[in-house]
Structure 1
Amino acid sequence: MTNENGSSWWNRSSVELFRYDNLEDIDLTADGSPILRFLVCLVYSVVCAVGLMGNLLVLFFIRVRKERKKSKVNFFVLNLAVTDFGFVLTLPFWAVDTALDFSWPFGDAMCKIILSVTVMNMYASVFFLTAMSVTRYWCVASALRNRNGGRSCSVKWISAGIWTLATLATAPTAIYSTVSNVTGEKLCLLRFPGGQYWLALYHIQKIVVGFVVPMCIVSVSYIMLLRFIHTRSLTSSNPRRRSKLTRSVTIVVLSFFLCWMPNHAITLWSVLVKLNAVHWDRAYYTVHTYVFPVTVCLAHTNSCLNPIIYCLMRKEFRGKLRGLIHRGGE
């Protein structure tokens, strides 16, 4: 999610999302109500607090307590915690921006930095979730086949590749993000020299690279995993284990889909409007003014759900957390 999908998203429902070519001609008085802005700020604050706490616990258990056990999945979990931790650190900036009615107070340099960090960590988080799904299938399938998986790529090289891809996907944001003066207000947003069509391509990249392709890979990986374990005689003797794995897989896929799909669906609608495939109408305005901020908040919550899903739901991590709490209470 970008904060072109973040704080500026909401304001941009009156700016770039409505197909205006000249930003100076926009009337920004039609933004959402102060109550809605307050609720968005509140959600950002809660997500930031929960995300910081959850991801710090993950980093503590995996890195400080040396709980990696040479696990490929745990190494990706570690990187996922780093990306989500960096992502939630940007939320206070967007909360202030929202509270000030989307008037960016931090200057042009911070606009580029915060917007780029937000986008890069969004891509990295999705990519690591995808890598974890593929790795989980490969590890379980190899174990049930009594194989060691053969020769495989180092997780460190895969992680380096993921960070490289996330950086490349973020390049347009880093180049074209800027603070623009719109009707006397300083807004942190994207200004492409090619106008609305380049912005539409940018959104298409975000939808395809940041959601459609990863969602397909995650879904196929987990479907193959469930099909594999259900056809193995080893799991048939342990229905409880099979049920727990099925439930955890369902939670992973549903949380990823439900957190991101609404936002990307509305973003796709805006792309169709920019490309004149769909007409601008009152429904479009209403959705972007009142529904879109809710989808932004929902997408942000994925960064605090990830540590809960991938770590705190695992028995070994819950045991470590209970031990930490007991020692802290002594």
Structure 2
Amino acid sequence: MGWASPEWSSWSTGKRWTLATGWRSLLPPACSSHTARLRAESRPPMANASLRLLCPVLEQMSRLQAHGNSSLRYMDHASVTLHGLVALLGLVENALIVFVVGCRMRQTVVTTWALHLALSDLLASASLPFFTYFLAVGHSWELGPAFCKLYSSVFFLNMFASGFLLSTISLDRCVRVVYPVWAQNHRSVGAARRVCAALWAVALLNTAPYFVFRDTIPRRDGRTMCYYDVLALAPGGDPAATCGRRQAALAGSKFLLAFVLPLGDIAASHAVLSARLRRRPQAGLRPGRFACLVAAAVAAFALCWGPYHAFSLLEARAHVVPALRPLAWRGLPYVTSLAFINSVVNPLLYVLTCPDVGRKLRRSLRAVLESVLVDDGEAGSRRRRSSPGVTAAASSPSLSSAGRCALLRWLRGPAALGSDGPRSTSG
């Protein structure tokens, strides 16, 4: 397990260590402590028994000791409890959404987008218990390198898939308004499913580097980290420079592809849609409940993932500026937890954007989702059909038919009226 393993510890307490201890005992205390500090600072990254090359940041992180403050331990217990509750809530919420939308509702383009977004959130919620266990055992990864890679890959897969799906939903609504004829001929459930499959493939492709470079790294206090080991493949001539370049590439690529580009696409789609509706306002294209749901989901995505990307860029910069490392290490666990919360917030938005929540929840969750996952035009037509004017217009054919019968009787003249008279009086 590297230089933190019990074998290395027992070997290091042998004769060589005894001689070194005896040599240090001949020195004054100040000189002895200064020598120990110099040796610790000058220790090369390749310091473990397997001669594993580590980045300077990883080498410094591996020397950090577990805190022994009782108040901090209390905060750890509260954090574990909170993460456990969030994981349970996210699993139940997203599983219900996937079941109802996928198995109990008529499949449309809108429900297809919602189903895949809920699947992405369900994956993230399923990985949260592993992060909770990491916190519960003292910030140590005890599940092995395979689960380390899998857990991290699911986290980043959700990050990319959520951004891609939200941008596609906004683009779909824009295309449906700007090019209605094309959308009428090509916008189908099958096409939406193919687009979702392509988005998942692109998200998996972008997740591959994090699967490759994620690994377990032992600490000197016996704990284990699940972190980037960017020197695992082709470390190059200058390990420190290689670490900085690769860490910056990872942080910059996920910031651009999973945050900036989706939000830019959403903003551009909204601008085009607003400009078109201002030039040609149509009652049937007013923002409906699904548009409000998308706007709320985009806001939650930006608020939950924005701090994570900011600290990720700060962490990459810390490879060059060591003074930033303590700030990045303190903040990353909190912003990672905030990113996980996004998967729990999305199902709540389905309910909060639905009118008459209490009444419909008493009926079924399906009633709530059916009132929200509707295109804007279809929602407008539903409102018109349910309005009193539409009801009166629907009853007008029966009134006009009665009027035609009276007109025919009048044209037949008195004979027709007389023939009708005895029957009417005999009753």
| TM-score, normalised relative to structure 2 | 0.61
Letter in 1 for 2:223: E
Number of positions where the alignment pairs a residue of Structure 1 with one of Structure 2: 298
Equivalent position of 2:326 in the other structure? 285
Are 1:19 and 1:273, in contact at CA under 8 Å, matched by a contact in 2? no
Match of 1:324 in 2: 364
Matches of 2:61 and 2:105, distance apart in 1:
55
Which position in structure 1 is the counterpart of 2:198?
Answer: 161
**Inter-partner Cα distance in structure 1 for 2:63 and 2:88:** 35
Alpha-carbon distance between aligned partners in 2 of 1:149 and 1:325, rounded to the nearest angstrom: 30
Q: Could you tell me the TM-score, scaled by structure 1's length? A: 0.77
- CA shift in 2, pair 1:230/1:49, >3 Å: farther
- The code of the aligned residue for 1:268 comes to L
CA contact (8 A) 1:19 1:196 kept: no
Residue from 272, 284, 301 that aligns with 1:256: 301
**Deviation, structure 1 residue 316:** 10
Paired residue type of 2:226: C
Q: Which has the larger radius of gyration?
A: 2
Contact 1:51 1:304 in 2 (8 A): yes
1:85 aligns with 2:127: no
**Separation in 2 of the partners of 1:326 and 1:192?**
47
Q: What residue is the counterpart of 1:213 in the other structure?
A: 261
- The Cα offsets for residues 151-186 of structure 1, whole Å up to 9 and x where unpaired, read as 358112211111111111111122222222121212
Indicate which of 220, 229, 241 corresponds to 1:191.
Answer: 229
Kindly indicate whether the alpha-carbon contact (under 8 Å) linking 1:97 and 1:103 is maintained by their aligned counterparts in 2.
yes
SS in 1 for 2:106: coil
Matching residue within 348, 352, 356 for 1:308: 348
In structure 2, what is the Cα distance between the partners aligned to 1:301 and 1:213? 22
Match runs of 1:42-53 below 5 Å: 42-53=81-92
2:334 is the counterpart of 1:294: yes
1:321 CA drift (Å): 3.7
**1:134 and 2:179 equivalent?**
no
Q: Tell which has more relative contact order, 1 or 2 (C-alpha 8 A, sep 6+).
A: 1
| Secondary structure at 2:164 match in 1 | helix
User: Which amino acid in structure 1 is aligned with residue 207 of structure 2?
Assistant: T
Q: Which moved more, 1:81-90 or 1:44-53?
A: 44-53
Q: Is the Cα–Cα contact under 8 Å of residues 314 and 328 in structure 2 kept in the other structure?
A: no
- 8 A Cα contact 1:177 1:189, kept in partner: yes
Which stretches in structure 1 are left out of the alignment for 5+ residues?
A: 1-17
Query: Aligned to 1:84, what secondary structure does the other structure show?
Result: helix
Residue 314 of structure 2 is matched in structure 1 by 269
Q: Structure 1 residues 212, 287: closer, same or farther in 2, change over 3 A? A: same
RMSD (Å), alpha carbons: 3.3
CA distance in 2, matches of 1:45, 1:162: 30
